[in-house]
Amino acid sequence: MSEPTMPTHHGIEAKVNGDYPNETLRILHQRGSCRHFKDEKIPEEVLELLLGAAVNAPSGGNLQSFNIVKIEDPERREKLMKICGNQRFIGEAPLNLVICLDQRRSMRWAKLDYAPFTGMAQIRSFLMGIQLTGIVGQAICVAADALGLGSCYVGTALANAGEVSEFLELPQGVFPGVLISIGYPAEEISTRKKHRLNTLLHQERHRDLPDEELLAAYKEKHEAAWAPRVEITERRLQRLYETCLRVHGEEFAERSVAHARELGYISPVQRYFGLHYRADSVFTSPNSEFLEIIKGQSWNICGDYKPPMKHE
């Protein structure tokens, strides 16, 4: 007997309404991810407007330390889909954009004009560069909505940075940050329920919510009387138990399973980190492995800078 289908982990659908002073604010307030695309090529004039938004995104010092790899070829879209967790919409989308941190261009500019450069020897520079890829991605997503397109952020491009770097033939000094799949929506895009502002906004300094308020906030976001829950099956409980056992030990694993049985369903957070974004991936994809990928792309950010560094 097959397992009952699990509801989406992306959250429950929001009931959106309201008047906004302009179309930009409506787009920002009612945006949603698109995972079903028409088999329709994006016209060049639309693509130019879309990418123009990326070019004009804010960046530290106006250095624009990013580049965008455009993928439209069906065979390469399919390969990218397999690298990034076999998420079908990546292969379906007529356009995939991989936004990369690019210090290589600045490094070459500095070398050609005899300027000092240590952009690939600073962890702050790396983190700010990854931050920049998200900023550029957001500009692209807003522009996509404004142009009648749908888009979806994909985090697994960064999670599988080694394979993505090889697939895109990224040279040293370039690192994948964000993948965005784009196309014309094949169905109406739904907006997912978000936290209320008072859950996310802190006045002047950080404040932890009391436990009761925290649980209530997540319950409001992820659960509703009409929303489907993750049904308990022995297989799911076993996976939950195994994940908890590896990460927190036997006592916690037993308590986690008992808690699910008490609830009568697997809670959203148990589903997130026990079954979907499994917490035990810390063992299958260890930090040391990811740091080696970063170093392989020529970022020397794990130790202090020791001059003189050769200007590659």
Strands (DSSP E) found in 107-157 = 150-154
Residues written for the chain: 312
Per-residue confidence (pLDDT) for residue 302, from 0 to 100: 75
Sign of the alpha-carbon torsion through 24, 26, 27, 28: positive
Structure-token match 């030990």, residue found: 249
Would you say 98 and 197 are in contact if contact means Cβ atoms under 8 Å apart? Answer: no
Tell me the C-alpha distance between 99 and 97, whole Å: 6
Per-residue confidence (pLDDT) for residue 56, from 0 to 100: 98
Tell me the C-alpha distance between 55 and 139, whole Å: 9
Take residue 294 and report the two structure tokens written for it: 């970063």
Kindly state the greatest CA–CA separation across the chain: 69
Per-residue confidence (pLDDT) for residue 286, from 0 to 100: 86
Tens-binned pLDDT, residue by residue, of the chain (312 aa): 566 665 565 555 555 667 889 999 999 999 999 999 999 999 999 999 999 999 999 999 999 999 999 999 999 999 999 999 999 999 999 999 999 999 999 999 999 999 999 999 999 999 999 999 999 999 999 999 999 999 999 999 999 999 999 999 999 999 999 999 999 999 999 888 999 999 999 999 999 999 999 999 999 998 876 678 999 999 999 999 999 999 999 999 999 999 999 999 999 999 999 999 999 988 888 888 999 999 999 888 877 777 666 666
Per-residue confidence (pLDDT) for residue 285, from 0 to 100: 82
Per-residue confidence (pLDDT) for residue 283, from 0 to 100: 83
Range(s) for CATH 3.40.109.10 in the chain? 23-183
Class of domain 23-183: alpha beta
Take residue 175 and report the two structure tokens written for it: 């690192």
Structure-token match 């003189």, residue found: 308
Contacts of 193 (CB under 8 A, 6+ apart): 11, 12, 13, 14, 220, 221, 222
Take residue 146 and report the two structure tokens written for it: 């404004």
Tell me the C-alpha distance between 253 and 278, whole Å: 14
Residue type (1 letter), 89:
F
